[in-house]
Structure 1
Amino acid sequence: MKKHCVELHRTGQFSQFFLDYLGEKKELRPFYSYSPKLESFKDAIEQKSFSHHKRKVLLEALQEQYANQEVSYAVSANIESLASDFTFTVTTGHQLNLFTGPLYFIYKIVSTINLAKKLAGTYPNYKFVPVYWMATEDHDFDEINYFKLDGKKYQWNSEQTGAVGDFELDKGFKEFLKSVPFAPEVFLEAYNTSKTLSEAVRKYVNSLFGEEGLVVVDGDNTALKREFSEVILSDLFEHKPFEKATKVTKELEELGYSSQIFPREINFFYLDKGIRERIEKTESGFGVVNTELRFTDEEMRALVEEHPGRFSPNVVLRPLYQEVILPNLAYLGGPAEVVYWLQLKDVFGHFGVPFPVLLPRNFALLLSGKVQRKMKQLNWGVEDLFVDLDQWKNTFVKSEASMDIELAEQKEVISALFDAKGKEAGHLEKGLENAFEAGKVRSLKIIDQMVSKLRKAEERRLHTQIARACCIQESVKPGGSPQERVVNMMQFYLSNPDLISELLDCFDPLDFRMMVLAHES
């Protein structure tokens, strides 16, 4: 692939909050521990403490989760290496989207794998394991039950409730699967041989990235959550995460930055088969929203002790949970993810958990041969891909028009004529100057109507070029959103099975630019 890089601020796709973080704006410095740089990992390694007990619990949980799955030597070796004090993880996470969902699912994982490789080359005395945190506990099924390919939406509808990782691949799913006969075997095999959505996602992620040593972690594990009991109790009874996160959120808002997440007094869901609902404080103890479940304070403390797996952290505490149970050095996420972590630094500090290096995943735009041909016909460079289409069209039509379609000179002549004659007429009779001014306004409106007709006529004459630009724009921003947030990987993978290996070759996890990737013709 040919790679061209564009500075992120030139794409118009990123918030100022995110760009200020990458630019290390001094006002944001108190809200994170390490700069997003390779050199930061030296200090991160020295400051990350992770006990032998926690390593043992993690290793046993992973061995249990992988027990019934064939894994590559690279994955097996990486899991076993987690027992060593010299092994650390670098992590990304995402929902269980069907068939990987949008392209950036793949970009997250590729970026994380490449970061582990780069760290291994820079710090050879340590081992670095890339981790995909599988968001099995998420319950927003509508966010993950579809994918988009060639402009068409493929969707699985189900009446199941609770954590999506537990959703069964039932008859309804098998029917849905018939609508995607074109899907690569890696997906069909994973879905056809799995009972639940989480099992299928683990299988296809392992098939796609297992040779790179990617370890899939499912946080929905009782032993792992027992390590988080201190935080669960503090959140339920003291509301310390709410207090700390709210304070920092207010500080960021005072600097002009919008909140990305909104802390609650209690930041846990009650999790059980078919249920993932918020826990709320009541006059007599606790209640679970939308259920009849009620607990006294004593019953809730006992539940934390006996069944920590029933507690599922929300977006405020999931990052802390991850850092408590993993020997983790870095989290790689999308723009909104990276900046919402900044609201959480004091929460980490309160519990004595080191805050990781925050890095954005790589950003990319894939160009098909068709798009490249249209770019060549329009003489477009890569930065032209990110222009506002309406603005480009106005400029293009004006520059290519066969005459002055703005009629600017004619407007000036008419304005000057009415102004001059209006003043003369005003000496003759007082109200005539106003009459001439009104006449000027009517005349200029007629000219504007002619300008509109001329522009439309020129657009019809230039329709071929404009259609090419629209086609490019639909590839770059389908439906108005960036390609990587909409299009499924199969749009490129079906015609190029080497897509992932090519992305692994192209991506640099510490190059914070938009990569425009095109196959060499």
Structure 2
Amino acid sequence: MKKHCIELDQTGQFSRFFLDYIQGKSALKPFYTHLPALSSFQSAIEKKVFDQEKRDVLVKSLKKQYSGVELTEAVAQNIEKLSDSKTFTVTTGHQLNLFTGPLYFIYKIVSTINLARKLQEAYPSFHFVPVYWMATEDHDFEEINYFKMDGKKYQWNSSQTGAVGDFELNQSFKDFLKTVPFVAEVFKSAYSSSKTLAEAARKYVHSLFGEEGIIIVDGAPAELKAEFKEVIKSDLFSHVPFEKAISNTEKLESLGYKSQIFPREINFFYLEKGIRERIERTESGFSVLNTKIHFTESEIKALIQDHPERFSPNVVLRPLYQEMILPNLAYLGGPAEVVYWLQLSGVFDHFNVPFPVLLPRNFALIIDSNVTRKMGQLNWSVTDLFKPYAEWKKEFVLSESGIDISLALERNAISEIFDQKGKEAATLEKSLGSAFAAGKVRALKIIDQMSTKLRKAEERKLHVQLERGKAIEEFVKPGGSPQERVVNMMQFYLGNEELIHELLDCFDPLDFRMMVLEYES
């Protein structure tokens, strides 16, 4: 792949909030601990206190989670290394999208693996393990039950409810799989040999990235949730996380930044087979929305003690939970994720949990030889790929026209005539000034109509070039959204199984620019 890089603020795809963070704007510095830079990791290592008991629990849980999976040597070694006090993790997380969902799922993991590599080179006396956190407890099935490829949507419909990680790959899934005859073997093997969506996701991520040592973590087991008991009690009974998150949110909003998440007084769901519903306070204790489940205060305290796995954190507390059960130094996320973490630094401070180095994942646009050829025919640079099509079209038609289709000179001349004569006429009779003003409006409207006719004639003459531009835009922004947020990796992987290795070679997790990758299809 050939690689070209563009500054993110030239793409038109990112919020001012996110750009201000990665550019180190001083107003945001109170909301995080470390600058997003390689030099920050020495301090992050020194601040991260993670006792041996937690390491032992984590390693034991991971070995159980990987039961039935044939480990690569790199993964087996990394699990064992987590017992060592000199081993730290760098983490990304995502939902269990079918067949990985959009490309950025892959980009997150590649960025995280490469960060671990860079840290290993920079701090050789420590070990660094890349982690993919599976959002097995998420319950928004509609967000993950499809993928898009070559302009077509492939969707699995299921009546199952609750945490998506528990969704069984039943007959409805097998029927759905028949509608995807082109599926890559790595996915076919994972789904056909798994009972649940979580099991399949673990297998295909392991198959794609296991040689790179990626550790896949499911935060659902009771032994891990047990370490979160005090936070669960604090959230349910005193609402401290809500207060801390709201405080940061209000401060950020006062600086003009828009909130990404909205804290609640209680930030936990009740979780059991088929159910993941919000917990709410009642006069007599607690209730679970959309169910008949109720608890007194004493009953829910007992449940926290005996079954902490029944409590599933929402977006406000999941980051804290992750940092409490992992010896983690950095989190890599998308632009919305990065900025919502800034709303949560007060929650971390309250529970004395070190805030990690917060890094954006890498951003990329893959173009094939067909797009490259069309770009050459239009004399486009890679920067032109991010220009809105309507804007480019207008500029292109004007530049290629043999005449001034805007009729700007004529418009100005007619406007001046009506203005001048209107003033003269108004000295004879005041109402004539208004008549000339109305006549000017009608005349300019006719000029605009003629300009539109000229433009359309030029567009017909330039039809081939305009269609090329439209085809490029649909490739890089299918349906109007950036490619990495829409297109599935199989669109490129099926023709090139070296795609993952090529991305590993191209990505630099500390280079905060958009990459345009020329892919030989």
Q: Distance in 2 between matches of 1:456 and 1:133?
A: 53
Alignment partners' CA distance in 1, 2:353 and 2:468? 53
**CA displacement, residues 169-212 of structure 1 (integer Å, 9 cap, x when unaligned):** 00000000001110110000100000000000000000000000
Give the Cα separation in 1 of the matches to 2:50 and 2:422.
85
Partner of 1:408: 408
SS in 2 for 1:467: helix
Secondary structure at the counterpart of residue 75 of structure 2: helix
- Matched residue SS, 2:217: strand
Q: Which residue of 2 aligns with 1:275?
A: 275
Which whole-Å deviations, capped at 9, do the CAs of 1:136-156 have from their partners, x for residues lacking one? Answer: 000000000000000000000
| 1:374 aligned partner | 374
- In structure 1, distance between residues paired with 2:287 and 2:220: 22
| SS of equivalent to 2:343 | helix
**Aligned partner letter, 1:57:** V
Contact 1:81-1:87 at 8 Å conserved across structures: yes
TM-score (norm 1): 0.99
Partner deviation per Cα, 1:196-254 (whole Å, 9 max, x = no partner): 00000000000000000000000010000001111111111111100111111111111
Partner of 2:107: 107
| Percent of matched pairs sharing the same residue | 70
Q: What's 1:139 paired with? A: 139
Deviation at 1:256, TM superposition (A): 0.6
Residue 36 (structure 1) aligns with? 36
> What does residue 449 of structure 1 align with?
449
Unaligned runs of 5+ residues in structure 1 are none
Cα offset for 1:439? 1.7
Please tell me whether the aligned partners of residues 476 and 483 of structure 2 are also in contact (alpha carbons under 8 angstroms): yes
Shift of 1:260: 0.7
Conservation of the 8 A alpha-carbon contact between 2:245 and 2:346: yes
Whole-angstrom CA distance in 2 between matches of 1:464 and 1:202: 46
Q: Which amino acid aligns with 1:485?
A: R
Distance 1:398 1:507 in 2: 38
Q: CA deviation at 1:427?
A: 4.1
* Segment of structure 1 superposing worse, 404-413 or 176-185: 404-413
How far apart are the structure 1 equivalents of 2:326 and 2:423?
Answer: 82
User: Which string of whole-angstrom CA distances, capped at 9 and with x for unpartnered residues, describes residues 314-362 of structure 1?
Assistant: 0000000000000000000000001100011110111111100000000
In structure 2, the residue matched to 1:187 is: 187
Distance 2:268 2:233 in 1: 10
Is the Cα contact below 8 Å between 2:368 and 2:520 reproduced in 1?
no
Would the alpha carbon gap of residues 91 and 433 (structure 1) be closer, same or farther in structure 2, given more than 3 Å must change? same
Aligned to 2:75: 75
SS in 2 for 1:376: helix
Structure 1 Cα separation of the partners of residues 430 and 512 of structure 2:
67
Q: Which residue in 2 is equivalent to 1:325?
A: 325
Change (3 A) 1:420 1:47: closer
2-structure distance, mates of 1:520, 1:478: 20
Q: Secondary structure at the match of 1:39?
A: helix
Indicate conservation of the 8 Å contact 1:367/1:516, yes or no.
yes
Q: Say whether the 8 Å CA contact 1:95–1:135 is kept in structure 2.
A: yes
Distance across 1 between alignment mates of 2:409 and 2:308: 77
| Structure 2 partner of 1:124 | 124
How many residue pairs align between the two structures? Answer: 521
Distance 1:105 1:425, change over 3 A: same
CA distance in 2, matches of 1:99, 1:54: 33
Q: Deviations over 1:86-142 (max 9, x none)?
A: 100000000000000000000000000000000000000000000000000000000
In structure 1, what residue type is equivalent to 2:173?
F
> Could you tell me which amino acid in structure 1 is paired with residue 288 of structure 2?
V
Q: CA–CA distance in 2 between the matches of 1:372 and 1:416?
A: 47
The 5-angstrom pairing of residues 62-461 of structure 1 reads: 62-461=62-461
Further displaced range: 55-64 or 407-416: 407-416
Report the Cα offset of residue 440 of structure 1: 1.9
Q: Distance in 2 between matches of 1:417 and 1:93?
A: 66
Question: How far apart are residue 520 of structure 1 and its match?
Answer: 5.8
Q: Could you tell me how far 1:391 is from its partner in structure 2?
A: 1.1
Distance (Å, rounded) in 2 between the aligned partners of 1:411 and 1:165: 64
CA offset at residue 274 of structure 1? 0.3
SS of 2:38's equivalent? coil
Mapped partners of 1:98, 1:519: distance in 2: 24
Letter in 2 for 1:31: F
Is the Cα contact below 8 Å between 1:2 and 1:520 reproduced in 2? Answer: no
* Deviation, structure 1 residue 286: 0.5
Matches of 1:520 and 1:216, distance apart in 2: 31
Helix, strand or coil for the counterpart of 1:434? Answer: helix
The alignment's TM-score, normalised by the length of structure 2, stands at 0.99
CA–CA distance in structure 1, aligned partners of residues 356 and 421 of structure 2: 74
Q: Which moved more, 1:309-318 or 1:429-438?
A: 429-438
Give the letter aligned to residue 57 of structure 2: V
**Match for 1:247: what amino acid?**
S
1:425 is displaced (CA, Å) by 3.5
Give 5+ residue unaligned stretches, structure 2: none
Separation in structure 1 between the aligned mates of residue 287 and residue 79 of structure 2, nearest angstrom: 39
